[in-house]
Structure 1
Amino acid sequence: MQTRLQYAALIACAMMVLPSAAFADSDNKSQYATKQLPVQLASMTCSNAYLDGYLGDVVTAINNSTTTATLSTDITKTSTDFGTLQSDASANNTAQFRTDVKTYNADSKTANLEAHSELKIVHSRTVNTTLKSDASQLRSTENTCLFVAKQQKANLKGEMYDHVMARAQNMTEKMQKRGMNTDEINKVIGNATAKIQAFELAVQNAQNSTQIKAALDSFCLYNGCKTSENFHFAAASAIQVDQARLNVLAVKNSTTSYQALVNQAQLDLGNAQTALNQVGSNKYQGTQSSDIWNDIKAAADVIHQLQQIANHKH
């Protein structure tokens, strides 16, 4: 029984390992989003294999269809739920996937609680010893599976970051051709690139699921990490891009009204930068994100006005 379940779990894991071609370079960033569901499902496949194997072991070990009737029904539910998630991922239906994940998690929790309840009723040392051994082997298989699944997630994350950096670099080159000083935005890109390279090295050196998880949690280019490892690239780069544009426009017109707009845009950008500095590498809290982006947007609106005036369109 144990060998069969472990083999089934390993096959389930292997079936979800995406071919390397699935992570080929793409000029369309939106294509990365289409890869996220299969990657998320890959990790869930590993965990589901453990759940299915363990609950099946409970039914077999208790060996009383009357006692395990409810649990058997719960197992059918979780199996159906997971099949639905597979269909959602195949259809790339992110919204439905998120909804169905909640159902799957709720039914999985119910099944685990039922298994615990039935084991308490049986109260057999032999059954518990058997299950402990089975669970240990299933967990080992799950961890092997998770290592592969999390590698997929980490590789996709790194590839997406590299794509973003390439686009940002291309943008700065265009800005330079228009006479803008891109030193500060280049510093942001350089710092982000160094962080990304460190992240990719940690992923490359990871030897097990625990290490690959630590690597995944070690850096977020935007605001996704719970720990203090968020770079906030979107806000940091937006501020410096607007600053470069403002620096060019500031000398286009010396009238009082024009310079008042320059000062207003500079104030907005300064406020955004100050607020971002206060956030540091922490995750946004409260209204920090909206406050920063409201200032960035306000500055961008004023810069647009300045551009129109400079172009004699206002």
Structure 2
Amino acid sequence: MASLKATLKSCMFNAGQQLAKARIMAYDTGIQKVQDRTNTLSSKGVDTTQLNKLISQAQINLGNLAGSISSATNSSQLKTALQSYCQYNGCKSGTNFHLAAQSALAAEQAVLDKIKSNPNSGQYSSQIDQAQTKLTNAQNILNAVGTNIYQGTQQTDVWNALHDAHGIIKQLWSELNGHGQKSTSSSSSRSSGSYGK
């Protein structure tokens, strides 16, 4: 009976390790997507300093999580490690980095800042102010959330503000970069961005 119990514990631990490895790979893929978006924006002359800082912090966080996972010697330690950090949202008592929202906000702000620096942007000051207000609202909510899990409507409110800002910013980008067509896309800030395409 003791042998059966030990075998079960070993199987559970091995399954947990596989889950942990899959999570690490998924988080790494998420970071790579942000890096790809950052590279695209940088190639268009957008200042990506804040995005690069987020990527660096996400990589550090992921390294710390990987270290905690690899040093776990039983299922309980592994569970504690997995619950200590969520790259997005979902850790009830751990750190929630909110990478998707933070990176979308940083990307939209960087593009809006690039738009503001365009000498022809003055005629669009009302739309620029609208977009900035939406981004500021999203930032204020993220500041209130911190590294906690979203509460109530916070997640919806953040993403609605980012989506609204994205629509305005995408149209401004198109207008100021000679494309002149109205945006009919319903893509959101969660996409890789489509500025200048």
Same fold (TM over 0.5): yes
Taking the TM superposition and a 5 Å limit, the aligned residue runs for 1:257-268 are 258-268=124-134
One-letter amino acid of the counterpart of residue 138, structure 2: A
Supply the distance in 2 between the matched residues of 1:301 and 1:195 (Cα, whole angstroms): 31
CA contact (8 A) 2:115 2:121 kept: no
CA contact (8 A) 2:141 2:154 kept: yes
Supply the distance in 1 between the matched residues of 2:136 and 2:54 (Cα, whole angstroms): 16
Indicate the residue corresponding to 1:212 in structure 2: 78
Indicate the residue corresponding to 2:189 in structure 1: none
| Structure with the bigger percentage of helix | 1
Indicate the residue corresponding to 1:197 in structure 2: 63
RMSD: 1.6
One-letter amino acid of the counterpart of residue 158, structure 1: I
Tell me the percent identity.
38
Indicate the residue corresponding to 1:149 in structure 2: 15
Are 2:141 and 1:288 aligned?
no
Deviation at 1:293, TM superposition (A): 0.6
One-letter amino acid of the counterpart of residue 239, structure 1: L
One-letter amino acid of the counterpart of residue 232, structure 1: H
Indicate the residue corresponding to 1:313 in structure 2: 181
From 149, 167, 172, give the equivalent of 1:301.
167
Deviation at 1:229, TM superposition (A): 1.2
The normalised TM-score by structure 1 is 0.54
One-letter amino acid of the counterpart of residue 287, structure 1: T
Deviation string 1:57-111 (CA, Å, 9 cap, x unpaired) is xxxxxxxxxxxxxxxxxxxxxxxxxxxxxxxxxxxxxxxxxxxxxxxxxxxxxxx
Deviation string 1:181-227 (CA, Å, 9 cap, x unpaired) is 00001111111111100000011111111111111111111112111
Deviation at 1:282, TM superposition (A): 0.8
Are 2:29 and 1:184 aligned?
no
Indicate the residue corresponding to 2:114 in structure 1: 248
One-letter amino acid of the counterpart of residue 308, structure 1: S
Deviation string 1:252-297 (CA, Å, 9 cap, x unpaired) is 32434x0111111111101101100100111111100001111101
Indicate the residue corresponding to 1:159 in structure 2: 25
Higher relative contact order (CA 8 A, sep 6+): 2
Deviation at 1:234, TM superposition (A): 0.6
Supply the distance in 1 between the matched residues of 2:46 and 2:153 (Cα, whole angstroms): 32
Indicate the residue corresponding to 1:278 in structure 2: 144
Deviation string 1:106-148 (CA, Å, 9 cap, x unpaired) is xxxxxxxxxxxxxxxxxxxxxxxxxxxxxxxx3x433222111
Deviation string 1:28-61 (CA, Å, 9 cap, x unpaired) is xxxxxxxxxxxxxxxxxxxxxxxxxxxxxxxxxx
Aligned residues: 179
List structure 1 runs of 4+ shifted beyond 4 angstroms.
none
Deviation at 1:159, TM superposition (A): 1.0
Q: Secondary structure at the match of 1:255?
A: helix
Unmatched 5+ residue regions in structure 1? 7-137
Deviation at 1:163, TM superposition (A): 1.6
Q: Call closer, same or farther: CA 1:254–1:180 in 2, change over 3 Å.
A: closer
Supply the distance in 2 between the matched residues of 1:285 and 1:238 (Cα, whole angstroms): 20
One-letter amino acid of the counterpart of residue 126, structure 2: A
One-letter amino acid of the counterpart of residue 65, structure 2: F
The normalised TM-score by structure 2 is 0.85
Indicate the residue corresponding to 1:233 in structure 2: 99
One-letter amino acid of the counterpart of residue 159, structure 2: W
Unmatched 5+ residue regions in structure 2? 183-197
Supply the distance in 1 between the matched residues of 2:43 and 2:140 (Cα, whole angstroms): 29
Supply the distance in 1 between the matched residues of 2:79 and 2:144 (Cα, whole angstroms): 28
Taking the TM superposition and a 5 Å limit, the aligned residue runs for 1:73-88 are none
